[in-house]
Chain A
C-alpha cells in the first residue's frame, strides 16, 4: 500500500548545468526539477555524473555553466555553507563521520547551525548553552529513536558495522532538519536486510517529516520501489526523466545499461 503523499510544486530546479574537470566533461547541459516531498532518484551507469550532480546541488562543485533555482530563487553559485542554510543536507558515498566520536555526538554535530550560544557560554555550560543543549539533545534522541540505534548511542562510530554507520550518517543529516536531503548511495554495500531497513527509514523520513529526497542508487529494485521520479544520466547527459514506469520502458535507458547491439 503506497501511502498517498501530497507531492507539491517544483522546489529545486537544475538548469542547463555543465561541469567539466579539465578536458573531462562530467555533466553537459543537464536540467531537471525536483518537486516538494517527492523521492527523486538519480541513476545511471558508473561515471555517468551522478555524484557530481549532487555535489553541484550542495555547492561542493561549481559548474561552468547553468544555475540552480531553489524555491524560486535563482542561485548562480552555490556554496556548501549556503546550501546548509537553505536546508539542504546530504550523506556521502564513502561515509564521512567522525570515527572517534560516539554516534550521539556525531548526530549532534548536525545541529551545529542551530546553536546560538557562544563559545564562552558553552565552555561554562551557562546561560543559553544549558537550555540549548537540552533541546538539541532531545531532538537528537528523537532521531536515535526514529532510526532505532539506541543500542549504539554511546559507541564510537568507528567500531560500528557499515550498515549502522550509514544509519548514523543519515541521522546526522536529519539532525539539521533539512527540507531537501541528498543521499549518495545510501544502500551501497549492504545486505538485503540492511537495505530493507534503510528503505523503510527513507520512506518514513519522507512520510513523517515531509522531507524532499534526492538519492543516488544502483539497486534497481530499490529505485523502482521507492521513487516518485527518476532521472537517468549517461556520460554526463540526461537521457530520461519520468516516473519509474516510464523509465522501465524507455529504450534509451535500456540501451545505456545493456549496451546497444552493433
Chain B
C-alpha cells in the first residue's frame, strides 16, 4: 500500500466524522510530521524528499537520508538541553537545513517558529521575547550578526545554531554552534540514548501545537498563532484531495518560511503527500531555478505574476517585428478562447485549432521561458490579483486559481473550484470549511484548520475565535449568486463618505494597482465629502514607458512629478472611476483628487508590512498634511520626508507635489451605457 492509498483511506474517515476531527479525536496513527517522516523513510526511502541547488548542481536527499539528518539534528538539540515545549526560532532562506530544523524541533515535542529573514533587529527581538525562544537556528553570518546584536535584549536565548560557517571562523561566543557539530553530537547522543528518539516521536499527538507563526501585524504588534499538527495535516490532506495532487508533484520553496502558505505547501503537504520540494540556489536565481525544476504545483502572491507579466511585455516590445506580431495575434486569440478551453467550456473547432497552433508557436515557448510548462495547479493569494494578469496566465492554459486564507485557518478558507474561476471572487469554501457572513458584512469561518490560540494572549484569542469555533476574519465580503465569496476590504477599514456611500479603500486601491504603472495606492475618504488617493508609480514600468517617449528623469521623485506621468496616471484613475460607477454600492466613492507620492512606500520606513500591505493608519498620520491638501482646493503642496537608506543612513527628500482632479462618472449613466 503506497502512502497515497493510505492518505485516501484516512480521508474517508475524515469525511464521515469531519467535525469530530476538528475538535481533536484523530483516528489514524500518523498524526504528526515526525511520524509521517519516519513512515516515508520506510515506504519510499529512496525517493527524493528535498532538493537544493548548490555549486550549480541540484543535489537531493532521499526520505531516508533526510530522516537521518533530522534525527541527528533533533538528538543534537536534545544534547544541548532542548526540552519538550521549548520554542526554536528559524531565521533563514528556504534551505533544506532550515526545514529540517522545523521537523527536528517537532520530533522533540518543541515548537518551531520560522521568522521573516529580512526582519529588522527590533522586530526580531520583539518576537524572540514574546515567544520565549530559547533556541535559534540561523542560516549564515548575516543572521548570526543580527541575533548577536539583539542578544542582550533577549535574555532567554541560550543557543544559536548556524548552518553556513562562512565568515564565522573567528566567532568565539560560547552559545554559538555550527549545525554540523550539533548533528555530530546528536549522532553520539542517539547512540548513547537508545530509544530516546523513537520515544519522543511517539509521544507527539495530532492535537499538539506543531508550529507557531507570527502574523505580519497590519494592526498592532504581531501575534504568535499556534497551530496544531491536525490543523496542517488535515488541511493539507483536504487540499491534496480536492485538487488531486500526487506524490510526484514538483514544488519550488521560495517564499518566506514564516508565511503560513510556505509552511503548508512546502512542508506540510510534502510530508502528507510525499512529494519532493526544491530549494532555489539564491533569492536572485528563483526564476532560473524554476525553469530548471519545472514545478507542477506553484503558489505566488499576485505581485510575482504581475512582475512576470510586466517582464514579458517589456521584453516583447524589444522583440523583432514578426515575433511581436505573432505574439500579439496569438495572445489576442488566447484572451478570447484560452480561459474557456481551460475551463472545459465548448469552443468552436476552428478556434481550438488556432489555439493549438498558438500553443506550438507562442504559448508553449512562453510557458517554457517562465518555467510554467509542467504546471498543473497554481495558487495565488494574499491580495487581489488584477483581472488582466489573471486572465493572461489562465489563457495560456495555466490553471491558476485564487484562494482566500489566513494564518488562523492554516491557509484554506475558500478556493476557486476548477472550471468555475471568476476573477473577482475567491471561490467557494474549502473542503471541510464552513463560511458565514454576519449582518454587518464580516466573514467568519470554521473548520479543521482553525488555529489553537494566540500565544500568551487569551484576550485576542477570545476576540477572534468565538465559543462555537467561528473565527472572525475582520474582512468584509459577501457571497455572490453562485455561492462564491467576494472580499471587498478589511471590515474596519470599510467606511462611509459624508453622504453615506460605502467606501472600501482596499477595493479601490486594488483596482488602481491592477494597472501596471501603479505600484501602490492608498485611498482616503472615510467621513469625508469625496474619495481621494495617493499613488506610487511602478518605477520599472513607468521608467520604461518614459524611455520609449524620450522623457528624461533622474530618479523616482523626478519621474513621479512629471506632467506626462500625471496624465498617464490620471487616465488610469479615470478608468477605475468608470469601473466603480458600474457598482451600485460603491459607485459614489469614485476618486475626485489624487497625487503621486514623491517616494516609494517602503517597509523599512514602516509604511508597509513585510508582506507589503499598506499600513493605513501610519500613513494617514505621517502624511496628514498631504491628505488635508487633497481635501482642500490646493493644486500643489510642498513636502519634506525623512527616508532611511539601505545602509542605515537617513536623508531628506524635498518635493513639490501636484494634485490633480480626475473626472468622475454618473452611476446611473454608466449603467445605461453598459
Q: Which residues of A contact B (CB under 8 A)?
A: 1, 3-5, 137-138, 141-142, 144-146, 148, 150-151, 153, 192-193, 196, 200, 203-204, 207-208
**B166 adjacent to A196 (CB under 8 Å):** no
Q: CA of A138 to CA of B171 in the docked complex: distance in angstroms?
A: 28
Q: Identify which of A145, A148, A196, A204 gathers the most chain B CB atoms within 10 Å of its CB.
A: A145
B170 beta carbon closer than 8 Å to chain A: yes
How far, in whole Å, are A234 and B402 apart by their CA atoms in the complex?
67
- B54 in the interface, Cβ–Cβ < 8 Å? yes
CB of B56 within 8 A of CB of A144, answer yes
- Cα–Cα distance between A193 and B57 once the two chains are bound (Å): 29
Which one of A148, A192, A196 has the greatest number of beta carbons of chain B within 10 Å?
A192
Contact of A150 among B167, B169, B281 (CB under 8 A): B281
Which listed residue, A4, A138, A203, touches B55 by the CB 8 Å rule? Answer: A138
Q: With A138-B55, A150-B285, A153-B56 in contact, do A193 and B647 touch (Cβ < 8 Å)?
A: yes
Given contacts A5-B170, A193-B647, could you give 11 more A-B pairs where the C-beta distance is less than 8 Å?
A: A1-B170, A141-B55, A145-B55, A150-B282, A150-B284, A150-B285, A151-B284, A151-B285, A200-B167, A207-B169, A208-B166
- Closest Cβ of chain A to B638, distance in Å, is 29
Query: Size of chain B's interface in residues, with CB distance under 8 A?
Result: 16
From residue A133, how far is it (CB to closest CB) to chain B in Å?
13
**Is the C-beta of B23 less than 8 angstroms from some C-beta in chain A?**
no
Does the CB pair A141–B282 fall under 8 Å?
Answer: no
30 A–B contact pairs at CB < 8 A? A1-B170, A1-B171, A3-B169, A3-B170, A4-B170, A5-B170, A137-B56, A138-B55, A141-B55, A141-B57, A142-B55, A144-B56, A145-B54, A146-B166, A148-B282, A150-B281, A150-B282, A150-B285, A151-B281, A151-B282, A151-B284, A151-B285, A151-B288, A153-B56, A192-B647, A193-B646, A196-B647, A204-B166, A207-B169, A208-B169
Contacts of B56 in A (CB 8 A): 137, 141, 144, 150, 153
Query: Bound complex: CA of A19 vs CA of B9, how far in Å?
Result: 85
Chain B residue nearest to A141 (CB atoms) is B55
Q: Whole-angstrom distance between the alpha carbons of A208 and B284 in the complex? A: 25
How far is A4 from B167 in the complex, measured between Cα atoms in Å? 13
For window 358-402 of B, CB contacts with A under 8 Å fall at none
Determine the main DSSP class of B at the interface with A. loop
Q: Chain A contacts of B167 at CB under 8 A?
A: 200, 203-204, 207
Residues in chain A near residue B288, CB distance under 8 A: 151
- Residue numbers of B with Cβ under 8 A of A are 54-57, 166-167, 169-171, 281-282, 284-285, 288, 646-647
Q: Which residue of B lies closest to A139 (CB)?
A: B55
Question: Nearest chain B CB to A213's CB is how many angstroms away?
Answer: 16
Cα–Cα distance between A5 and B170 once the two chains are bound (Å): 9
Q: Which residues of B contact A137 (CB under 8 A)?
A: 56
C-alpha spacing A151/B282, complex, angstroms = 8
Complex CA–CA separation, A38 to B120 (angstroms):
34
Tell me the complex Cα distance, A144–B288, Å: 16
Closest to A148 in B: B282
Q: Which chain A residues border B169 with CB–CB below 8 Å?
A: 3, 207-208
* Chain A residue nearest to B288 in the complex (CB): A151
Contacts of A150 in B (CB 8 A): 56, 281-282, 284-285
Instruction: Identify the interface centre among A4, A150, A207: most chain B CB within 10 Å of its CB.
Output: A150
| Shortest CB distance A7–B (Å) | 14
Task: Tell me the complex Cα distance, A158–B512, Å.
Answer: 38
* Cβ–Cβ < 8 Å partners of B55 in chain A: 138, 141-142, 144-145
Residue of B nearest to A4 (CB): B170
